[in-house]
Amino acid sequence: MAKRSTEEVGVNMTPMIDIVFQLIIFFVVTVELDRQAFDETIVLARSPHGPTVEKRDPRTVYVEVHEDGTISIARNRLSEARLVTVLTQARIAGRQDTPVHIRAHQSTRHEFVRRAMQAAGKAGLYRVSFVALKEKAPSN
C-alpha cells in the first residue's frame, strides 16, 4: 500500500489552482481604488465615540491639513486664496450645504486647522466636520 502511494509522483494541482484564483479574484475585487485620493502621511486623531457616517454625500469636499500647516485637496497643495476659490466653486456647483470634511494631522496646530475652517466660512460653506479615526487605544 505504502509502496503504491510513493509511486504516484504527480500531485493533482487543479484544486489548488482553483483556490488560488478565487483568492486573487477576491483581492482584486476588494482592493480600494479611491484610497489614493487621501494622503497617507496624515495621522488622524482617534475618536472612539464619534458618530460614523454611513451615507456619503457625493458632494463632500475633503480638505487635508498637514502637520506643517500645508493645505491640500486630493493631494494637490493649495494656497489659502486658492482654497477659498475651490471651495466657492464647490458651493456654486453644489449648494450651500455642501459638506466640508477636514482631515487634519493629529499634531497640527489649531492655527492651521482654523485657516481651513475660515476658508470654508469665506466660501459660504458651513457644514464643517472633522474626520477622526474610530479606534480606541492610541498607539503613540
Partner 1 sequence: MADFRKRRKSEESGEISMTPMIDVVFQLLIYFVLTIRPVDVFAHLDVFSPSAKPQESETPPPPMIKIEIFPGGVLINGSGVDMTGLAKILGQLGALNPKQTVMILCSIDSRHRELVEVLDLCARSKLTNISVGSMN
CA of residue 27 relative to chain centroid, distance? 19
* Residues, the chain: 140
By CB under 8 A, the residues from 81 to 100 that bind partner 1 are: none
Q: Which is nearer to partner 1, 94 or 121 (CB)?
A: 121
How far apart CA 114 and CA 84 sit, in angstroms, is: 13
Q: What strands lie across the sheet with 71-73, from one edge to the other? A: 76-78, 71-73, 61-65, 100-104
34 near partner 1 (CB under 8 A): no
Does the footprint of partner 1 cover residue 69 (CB under 8 A)?
A: no
Residue of the chain from 7, 32, 33, 34 that contacts partner 1 (CB under 8 A): 32
Q: Which of residues 2-31 bind partner 1 (CB under 8 A)?
A: 13, 17, 20-21, 23-24, 27-28, 30-31
Distance CA 16, CA 140 (A): 42
Is 61 an interacting residue with respect to partner 1 (CB under 8 A)? no
Pick one of 2, 74, 133, 139: the residue that binds partner 1 (CB under 8 A).
133
For the chain, the maximum distance between any two Cα atoms, rounded to a whole number of angstroms, is: 84
Residue 81's SS3 state is helix
Which of 2, 6, 8, 49 forms a contact with partner 1 (CB under 8 A)?
Answer: 49
Distance CA 22, CA 29 (A): 11
Smallest gap from Cβ 68 to partner 1, in A, equals: 13
Q: Is 41 in the site for partner 1 (CB under 8 A)?
A: no
